[in-house]
Amino acid sequence: MDAKELKRVRLVKRVAREFPDGSIVNLGIGLPTLVADYLPADRTILLHSENGFVGLGPQAEKGKEDPRIVNAGGQPVTLVPGGCFFDSAMSFAIIRGGHVDFTVLGALEVDMKGNLANYMIPGKMVPGMGGAMDLVVGAKNVIVAMEHVNKHGEPKILKRCTLPLTATAEVDLIVTDMAFIRVTKKGLMLEEIAEDTTVEEVIKATDAPLQISGHIARF
């Protein structure tokens, strides 16, 4: 496992610690799907997928994939005992009815007001909206899991999003390979940093102003 992959694993492990016992959690495509492999063993957490499952398990082992059991990104996964299947109408009724406790989504940009842009870059081919529009307004808690900067080294946490918005003022937490940031009514609160970074490095890599918690933990 290379250094970049180790950082991604550390990130998703930190996200997984946020879910209380008994939570129903939806994981978006891309990086958030890795959270399924690192859920705490001492808690019962049910994973929901908008393509019609509750009770998804970790990714399937090679050679043991079932083509009928895939997550919303099309990756072969497993089903835990008691897991169930249903149609898309029921799946989105669960989301829109407020029965999903947490959703974890990737982002192109997120800003200091909790606005999220994660579905479109004008002029470029990207996966599109998917279920994100429903999840960000239907889930009780919205966590953004992403790398702190883009491939050009530019901040993804901005004063104001520049890309078309998925939703306004819906993000509660931002977890990156560098930091754990809570979205508050007064702005962004830096509460934790990765073990191999510093507060100064996080501030430099963030466009939006950060409030610094009195006690900065490490993850």
For residue 180, CA distances in Å to 47, 143, 193, 194, 203 come to 22, 10, 6, 8, 12
Q: What is the pLDDT of residue 202?
A: 98
Average pLDDT for 183-206? 97
pLDDT tens column, 29-73: 889 999 999 999 999 999 999 999 999 998 889 999 999 899 888
Q: What is the pLDDT of residue 121?
A: 81
* Residue 176 pLDDT greater than 80, yes or no: yes
* Residue 175 pLDDT greater than 90, yes or no: yes
Q: What is the pLDDT of residue 125?
A: 65
Residues labelled catalytic: 50
- Name which residue leads in pLDDT, 193 or 119: 193
- Name which residue leads in pLDDT, 51 or 101: 101
For residue 113, CA distances in Å to 21, 138, 189 come to 29, 18, 12
pLDDT tens column, 120-166: 887 776 666 778 899 999 999 999 999 999 999 999 999 999 999 99
Average pLDDT for 174-188? 97
Strands (E), the chain: 24-27, 46-49, 53-59, 77-85, 102-105, 109-111, 116-117, 141-146, 157-158, 173-176, 179-184, 187-193, 210-218
Spatial distance between the Cα atoms of 138 and 96, rounded to a whole number of angstroms: 5
Read off the pTM. Answer: 0.93
* Residue 11 pLDDT greater than 90, yes or no: yes
Average pLDDT for 158-179? 97
- Domains of the chain (ranges plus CATH)? 3-32+98-218 (3.40.1080.10)
